């Protein structure tokens, strides 16, 4: 096995393209850019409209690649669950939505493996802090 190059980036679910940020990083590598983009779009299709972390590992000798898709950031999950486009431009002045405790728990369970919290209570506090 040859050396491997890993590309870490955020892409919008289901709509990655050969343009930046993927294209310039994949260009000098022997992997087929079109195949990589197709694999990313296939694996991220369930996160349509959300930014998703993606890791692409390419073997520099053979051009073989693997695509690993992470979970969207907590903020994106909050926006999706609450049906909002973004946060408030004036924190503590203008509110854009109300998040109930059950929703915070749901998001905490979804992201539990990625959070630093030791238990569900701490994970919920992290989600509320992001809100």
Instruction: List pLDDT tens digits, range 15-64.
Output: 888 888 888 888 888 888 999 999 999 988 888 878 888 999 999 888 89
pLDDT(2) > 70: no
Q: What is the pLDDT of residues 62-96, one digit of tens each?
A: 889 999 988 888 988 999 899 998 888 887 888 88
- The secondary structure of the chain as a DSSP string is ---EEEEEEEEEBT---SSTTHHHHHTTSSS-HHHHHHHHHHHTGGGBTSEEEEEEEEETTT--EEEEE-PPPHHHHHHHHHT-SS--SSTTT-------HHHHHHHHHHTTTTS--SSHHHHHHHHHHH-
pTM to 2 decimal places: 0.68
Confidence of residue 1 (pLDDT cuts 50, 70, 90): low
């Amino acid at each position: 096995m040859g050396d491997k190059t890993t590309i870490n980036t955020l892409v919008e679910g289901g709509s990655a393209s050969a343009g930046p940020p993927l294209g310039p990083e994949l260009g000098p590598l022997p992997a087929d850019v079109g195949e990589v983009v197709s694999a990313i779009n296939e694996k991220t299709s369930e996160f349509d409209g959300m930014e998703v972390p993606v890791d692409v590992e390419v073997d520099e000798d053979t051009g073989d690649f693997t695509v690993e898709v992470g979970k969207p950031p907590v903020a994106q999950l909050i926006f999706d669950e609450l049906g909002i486009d973004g946060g408030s431009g004036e924190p503590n002045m203008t509110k854009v939505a109300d998040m109930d405790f059950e929703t915070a728990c749901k998001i905490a369970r979804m992201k539990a493996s990625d959070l630093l919290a030791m238990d569900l209570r701490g994970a919920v506090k992290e989600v509320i802090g992001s809100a």
